[in-house]
């Protein structure tokens, strides 16, 4: 079956997902997860885009990236990140061959039925990913994610996070936004409790 063409228009928000080769836990090591964060920072220095959120797991990652008008395409940004990381990993581990399992998958948030709810729910889904995989008990204690940027105005993230407009629209002040955003966490927890 032919694969769907990538949506390449600018100024839209992509939820991106990609897995390690053979779904192996190659990113579980703190050192390699840190290298992926470094490569994201390199991409931010090279290309014009907004990183809304990220979550690096043991065998995959999730990014939420918004392209900007007159900026770089999502395909070029992701090609840089994935190839640069694979190159570094292979040199450090003295290996050859692909690191990633497949081309990255993405969904355009603005094309969902309710983009605002989808994004705000997605931020909590990503944050709870390591909890669901029993890597940690508290999503706020996980090192390789960006949820704290949406909860603590003074949080220092190792990469630049741009708070999405849907989050900004939740209130006039940061504390108002956090209060409204925590409603999505509670709703996520309740749904998760029913499913699991």
pLDDT for 192 = 63
pLDDT for 6 = 59
How many separate domains does the chain show? Answer: 1
> What Rg do the C-alpha atoms of the chain give, in angstroms?
17
Each residue's pLDDT tens digit, 53-77: 999 999 999 999 999 998 899 999 9
Whole-prediction pTM: 0.92
Does residue 7 fall inside a structural domain?
Answer: no
Q: What is the CATH classification number for the domain harbouring 135?
A: 3.30.70.1290
**Domain extent at residue 112:** 13-195
Q: What is the DSSP letter of 48?
A: -
Q: What is the DSSP letter of 164?
A: P
pLDDT for 164 = 97
Does residue 167 fall inside a structural domain?
Answer: yes
Q: Give the mean pLDDT of 76-87.
A: 96
Each residue's pLDDT tens digit, 165-178: 999 999 999 999 99
Does residue 2 fall inside a structural domain?
Answer: no
Numbers of helices and strands, H then E, in the chain: 6, 4
């Amino acid at each position: 079956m032919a694969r769907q063409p990538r949506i390449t228009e600018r100024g839209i928000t992509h939820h991106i997902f990609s897995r390690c080769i053979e779904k192996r836990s190659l990113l579980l090591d703190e050192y390699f997860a840190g290298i992926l964060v470094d490569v994201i920072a390199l991409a931010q220095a090279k290309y014009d885009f907004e990183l809304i959120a990220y979550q690096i797991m043991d065998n995959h990652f999730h990014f939420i990236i918004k392209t900007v008008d007159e900026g770089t395409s999502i395909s070029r940004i992701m090609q840089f990140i994935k190839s640069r990381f694979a190159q570094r990993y292979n040199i450090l581990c003295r290996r050859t061959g692909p690191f990633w399992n497949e081309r990255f998958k993405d969904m355009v948030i603005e094309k969902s039925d309710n983009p605002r709810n989808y994004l705000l729910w997605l931020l909590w889904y990503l944050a709870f990913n390591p909890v669901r995989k029993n890597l940690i008990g508290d999503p706020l204690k996980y090192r390789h994610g960006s949820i704290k940027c949406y909860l603590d105005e003074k949080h220092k993230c190792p990469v630049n996070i741009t708070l999405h407009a849907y989050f900004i629209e939740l209130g006039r002040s940061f504390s108002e936004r956090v209060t409204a955003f925590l409603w999505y966490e509670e709703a996520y927890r309740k749904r998760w409790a029913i499913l699991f």
